[in-house]
Structure 1
């Protein structure tokens, strides 16, 4: 009987390890938060890895204790067993959660503070206004009077404040490799500070269900070198702004 229990436990452990490796295979890709391309996303990735490693260690300890409990002989002394049970309940039900939450707050609060749009030591960030519609993104560079649709252009290495709001329902603006999510709420503006380190294209999307067209509510951020961004911005200023296309809007809003 003991051997059968050990065989079942070993099989479950092997299955857990294989499943972990399988799911870790999805940690890369164009929208992976674990492949950061900016300081905000990098801070989030480090926090995720820290939580993952800590949770894995706790799981390994719990599984080890479980295997030990299944294999050991029952204690003959009931009073001793009761004392041990109370210790395990207090340790696993009170001490472990308090320590875990304390560590999460100790690391998470400073990281969250660094993600805020705090005043810069010198200069001011580039300001971009993003408005969520069902089911597309309106992107405006107010100082340059440039408007885009489902497209965002950023200069590499330059702080950018994305001012996010919504024209209808609640959406959520998210560029996974550049930073965290932020809600787009009608009648309210939230500010997301982003800095892109590497030039390239970074897909994004609405990350909060907002209706039948939610899955198609995507956008793309293109990061240029500062000089190339200035050239792009001047070229857009010479061309007319993107008009409001009522036909396209009706097509996007169709279920």
Structure 2
């Protein structure tokens, strides 16, 4: 469930954004603390006149520069998370309720799974997310960011797994007593396993 252990392209962009923001925030904190220490040191020595330049010029200027860079990088990452036209996309549907997820598959309309979403590894998957009751949140930290499931509305989240495997997910929106156990899993298949799942021959 770690967001800094990505297993897909969207999750890698999000993890990198997290590390960049951590480093940028740390740089701002260290620099501002150094300026504050410098101001107190200069005051104790009886010096005057340069505090305004150091605190306002460097303190605010440096901080605003870092924040602007972080904002620009955040916008860049957001654009990279948008679906790409021309991708060979698999479409699935996720319907949340208290306390389960039901998944259906456009490529196999007769297939319905509970609390296990099956996808092909190495291919982008658009998950159409909705709910039958209250707001839930679909989140598979190692594959993508989270997206709310809203009654009467469909939100689409693109996920992708690099390799076959089992990736845990959770409903990360408080939706009443019992939500802490509202979990599911994404099962990523190799090409042969995906075809077997679609045809039901893996059962």
Q: With structure 1 as the length reference, what TM-score do the two structures score?
A: 0.72
- The alignment yields a C-alpha RMSD, in angstroms, of 2.2
Match of 1:126 in 2: 90
Tell me how far 1:86 sits from its aligned partner: 6.3
Decide whether the 8 Å contact of 1:117 with 1:191 is kept in 2: no
In the alignment of these two chains, the number of paired residues is: 202
Task: Evaluate the alpha carbon distance shift between residue 98 and residue 60 of structure 1 in structure 2; reply closer, same or farther with a 3 A threshold.
Answer: closer
More strand by share: 2
List alignment gaps of at least 5 residues for structure 1: 1-30, 240-255
Structure 2: runs of 5+ lacking an equivalent: none
2:140 matched residue in structure 1: 175
Q: Is 1:115 paired with 2:85?
A: no
Q: Could you say which structure has the higher helix fraction?
A: 1
Larger Rg over CA atoms: 1
- Which of 156, 159, 165 is the aligned partner of 1:194? 159
Structure-2 separation of matches of 1:172 and 1:114: 22
TM-score normalised over the length of structure 2:
0.89
Deviations 1:93-116 (A, max 9, x none): x43453233212211112111212
1:85 to 52, 65, 74: 52
Q: Distance in 1 between matches of 2:38 and 2:61?
A: 21
C-alpha distance in 2 between matches for 1:73 and 1:119: 60
Moved more, 227-236 or 36-45: 227-236
Output the CA distance in 1 between the equivalents of 2:53 and 2:34: 19
Contact 1:116 1:192 in 2 (8 A): no
